[in-house]
Chains A and B, each alone.
Chain A
């Protein structure tokens, strides 16, 4: 069997040598039944122990070649836009609808062609599309590394007019070797909002309690209002994670959001607190697409939400929004830097007092609900430390604390018990 010079490469033998190839294959076949079926033309492949592979007969080869051509033609016949990627993100094929759409949309919407790498395309998008490209990049990587079976990514093409939104559905193509992926692309003209925190969507009400929006002229607010929707944010809900794209910005009306910095990916320390005086996602205005902190809802209430893309458009065209936002960002920076110093130099009791006063200011209420664990995270201390500090404040009749329900009894007294940081940030914010 091994004395033949022919190799399995003969699978690609031209017609003239088909007979010789068949004869060589026949020599690999042992057993009467196998030979009988081989001679009757009922065999597709013969196993070659030397190469450890199946060697296809010429008829089977051409039939398989035809069938793969049929699959490619079928993909081209599909009305939907489809492209297939290899494990490195290189486009193996893009169907006719995808190719035509790429031309029709002037290559907007992360258009890639056969041979191009989609990850390179994700890096090479305009700044305002980066947030969507990063989401796409991450979703695709998860599918190709088999972390997820599929992913759906929304991509807004801000460059196009009228504004177009496409939805990419990525699915893994399972097989023996490295995972491939198939992507479908659907276009729409209306943006769809991110799924998280969609509790209740209502049209935005003018002057909805957010001081930052209230500072805008009625005309400016009216223009923004069409992109705002009222949502309910609930205690414990995470709006952003560090390094993740900010899909939407939030203007709290009567809810409270903590900005937490994570150390070693798990231990959290509060560095900022935002309520009705500000917004969540102001970093977008500074040109960043991802969040640097975890934004955690710690006081249930309502907020006005706007998609990041819309916010950036409005921000670019409105000088008064820019002014208001820069003032807020400056105040937030003062708060963050003062908090950093406070955490290092002041005792837990004074810090807790400051923190309770800040919360009450932003909630516009002297009563709120917070657990020990939550407070410990906020102040970066152990739970026992929180208990001791809270008991001390309660003994001085400044607060009432029971099972997480906190009531401030004596605001001036609590101010006196707090460190100077509270008054300092208040004054600086007022001067802004």
Chain B
């Protein structure tokens, strides 16, 4: 009971901090190929986008397909870099080095917020 109340308080604080349109945490997974150029760019781009538009309301997992190829194949990933939006639904998938910020935001369903 106490835990639930604490969770509720945390959610309220998150809502206050992030604004109404960023209450839920966006969970993403980025598949990359080691430190290859496009992969490095993709990591930098998505991190910048998240910092600017999602603040702390996101979770980003980076999967190196050179180390975990089976995981990528099981997740249906064909090429890297590849960004998958895990939650909230609807899911989305973006291919490439994620340099097109507006395209990424639109595909991810993220509403831009003024800084």
Judge whether A215 is part of the interface by a CB distance below 8 angstroms: no
Q: Which residues of B contact A53 (CB under 8 A)?
A: 69
Known: A38-B79, A46-B78, A47-B77. A59 touches B33 (CB 8 A): no
**Pairwise interchain contact A43-B65, C-beta atoms closer than 8 A:** no
Residues of A within 8 A of B84 (CB): none
A45 and B96 contact, CB distance less than 8 A: no
- Return chain B residues, CB-CB under 8 Å to A47: 65, 69, 72-73, 77-80
Which residue of the partner chain, among A42, A57, A175, contacts B95 with CB atoms under 8 Å?
Answer: A42
B69: which A residues are within 8 A, CB to CB?
47, 52-54
Within A6-63, which residues are at the interface with B (CB < 8 Å)? Answer: 28-31, 33-34, 36-38, 40-47, 49, 52-54, 56-57, 59-60, 63
Among candidates A31, A41, A54, residue contacting B65 with C-beta atoms closer than 8 Å: A54
CB pair A42 B38 closer than 8 Å: yes
Answer yes or no: B59 CB below 8 A from chain A CBs.
no
A32 closest partner in B (C-beta):
B95
Contact count A vs B, C-beta below 8 Å: 90
Contacts of A40 in B (CB 8 A): 96
A45 touches B80 (CB 8 A): yes
B37 interfacial by beta-carbon distance below 8 Å: yes
Interface residues of B in 53-97 (CB under 8 A from A): 65-70, 72-73, 77-81, 93-97
Near A by CB (< 8 A), chain B positions 19-41 give 32-39
A54 lies within 8 A of B95 (CB): no
* Among B67, B80, B81: residue with most chain A CB under 10 A: B80
Q: Is the CB of B73 within 8 A of A45?
A: no
Assembly CA distance A292 to B80 (angstroms): 59
A64 within 8 A of B: yes
CB distance from B103 to the nearest CB of A (A): 11
- A67 at the A/B interface (Cβ < 8 Å)? yes
Q: How far is the CA of A36 from the CA of B103 in the complex (A)?
A: 14
A264 interface hit (Cβ, 8 Å): no
- Residues of A near B99 (CB, < 8 A) are 42
A and B contact pairs by CB, cutoff 8 A, 20 listed: A28-B78, A29-B79, A30-B78, A33-B93, A34-B95, A42-B38, A43-B81, A43-B95, A45-B33, A45-B79, A45-B80, A47-B65, A47-B72, A47-B73, A47-B77, A49-B73, A54-B69, A54-B80, A60-B38, A67-B34
